[in-house]
Structure 1
Amino acid sequence: MKRAALWLVTVVGEGRVFTKEELRQAFPGVSQIDRRMRDLRDFGWVIHTNREAGDLDPSEQRFVEQGIPVWEPGKATRPKGTIAIGAGKRRETISGDGNMCRSCGMTPGAVYEGTYDTAQLDIARRRVRRPDGTEVVELVTECQRCRLGGRQLVADLGDVLRAIERLQAEDREVLADWIAADERDFRSVEQVWSSYRALPDSSRAEVRAALEL
């Protein structure tokens, strides 16, 4: 892992693209070099594949940003609370999350609205703040778009639980039904509202005019 980090810094360079074949040629005889490089993400290194960047081919990766200099003494200790993600853990997490992105609901291969881009699912490490104020790291399934936007997010479980306590009884029943089904149907007016909010200001003005506001 340390050698891979030095190779990225000294040979590839931040912002540059490299291929899996170039990586393997740089480390002949080193087994699972791809995995050794992926381990750098646990130390704050940002390395994109075509899951995160649509302009990359499946064989390409981009070295986006250097993290902790793991080659320095004492810097290669895996951060506390880090969860190793192997193939089995990945399948288990995606299956437990209903085979969809937990942030936007996209399923593998689904096309993003207004584009030709298809969703790919991956595993994100999400910091979760417990009701007692402590933080833990848990795994969650996200698509490439949500994973990029949610790197610095902290999910606050305490806030969710307190919000549920403030709900009226009938609203709690509705929420319980949604959670049991793990989905909810948005009313037409809610779908229009979501589309309206995404419009530029001049277009929103036309909508307001159409409603005579």
Structure 2
Amino acid sequence: MDLPSWTDPKLGTMKRAGLWLVTVVGEGSVFTKEDVKEAFPGVSQADRRVRDLRDHGWQIDTNREDASLGPHEQRFVKQGQPVWEPGKATRPSTSITQTRRREVLARDGHFCRSCGIAPGQVYEGTYESAQIDIARRVVRQQDGSEVTELVSECNRCRVGGRGTVTDLGSMLTRAAALSGLERKMLSSWMKQDKRDFSEAEAFWADYRALPEESRAKIREVLKPTAE
């Protein structure tokens, strides 16, 4: 089926924006707000209509999801619902209100719940500072149903966790099987909402991130000496 023209003024701006992304930009390509303004001259809030496509399953990344993008760049990753077709543009909005965003950030302590970094803090070994935003996390319940819950995450962890499903039922089963000492230790960490890692544990995390050639050198240094 031939696609309608994205320049057709009879279509709404969001439908035209979707057609523009598909036929002009192309999946995987980068565009800017200036590109949107040039494509839709005189159309107010055209950039917002592009963002609205996310509520219909379109994946359009900013530098919050893709650290390689500049602050004014976006990447058209994947097409969602063909909103230009009858009935395809009526999906209720799933956008997060600013009030709800503030509530989740405050509840989560204004830091990334995955790696613990705070907003503005620089990632170790880089000059890149963290941005904290709200991620949608799919959580599988004990009855097998899935619900989407909100959590605060940094731009790096949001990219790494995209598409994952947390199995709450499995975690509850594992929690019930813990020994008394393990439960006490975990309860202490949860009460403080943090865990202090030993030097060996911190070293292990850094070691696991090394390429094999470097890991081999570390293993050689730590090899037990003959008595």
TM over 0.5: yes
Q: Distance in 2 between matches of 1:29 and 1:164?
A: 54
Instruction: Check conservation: 1:45, 1:66, Cα contact below 8 A.
Output: yes
User: Secondary structure in 2 aligned to 1:171?
Assistant: helix
Aligned to 2:18: 5
Aligned to 1:114: 125
Residue 153 (1) aligns with residue 164 (2) = yes
Q: Distance in 1 between matches of 2:34 and 2:220?
A: 57
2:208 to 194, 197, 206: 197
Q: Percent identity?
A: 58
Displacement of 1:103 in angstroms is: 1.2
Q: Distance in 2 between matches of 1:184 and 1:162?
A: 22
Instruction: Check conservation: 2:58, 2:78, Cα contact below 8 A.
Output: yes
1:28 to 42, 45, 48: 42
Displacement of 1:136 in angstroms is: 0.5
Displacement of 1:175 in angstroms is: 0.9
Q: Distance in 2 between matches of 1:14 and 1:187?
A: 45
Letter in structure 1 aligned against 2:65: E
Instruction: Check conservation: 1:83, 1:137, Cα contact below 8 A.
Output: no
Displacement of 1:152 in angstroms is: 0.8
Residue 41 (1) aligns with residue 58 (2) = no
Residue 176 (1) aligns with residue 191 (2) = no
RMSD: 2.0
Residue 15 (1) aligns with residue 28 (2) = yes
Q: Distance in 1 between matches of 2:134 and 2:49?
A: 17
Displacement of 1:77 in angstroms is: 4.0
Q: Distance in 2 between matches of 1:8 and 1:55?
A: 20
Letter in structure 2 aligned against 1:43: H
Q: Distance in 2 between matches of 1:55 and 1:136?
A: 30
Displacement of 1:205 in angstroms is: 1.6
Displacement of 1:21 in angstroms is: 3.3
Displacement of 1:190 in angstroms is: 0.5
Give aligned pairs, total. Answer: 210
Aligned to 2:63: 50
Letter in structure 1 aligned against 2:85: E
What 5-or-longer segments of structure 2 have no aligned partner?
1-13
**Which range moves more in the overlay, 179-188 or 70-79?**
70-79
What 5-or-longer segments of structure 1 have no aligned partner?
none
Instruction: Check conservation: 1:16, 1:63, Cα contact below 8 A.
Output: yes
Higher radius of gyration, 1 or 2? 2
Displacement of 1:154 in angstroms is: 0.3
Letter in structure 2 aligned against 1:133: G
Aligned to 2:147: 136
CA deviation digits over 1:13-59, x for unaligned, max 9?
2233322233245163434x433322322333221212223343322
2:91 to 73, 78, 81: 78
Instruction: Report the TM-score, using the length of structure 2 for normalisation.
Output: 0.83
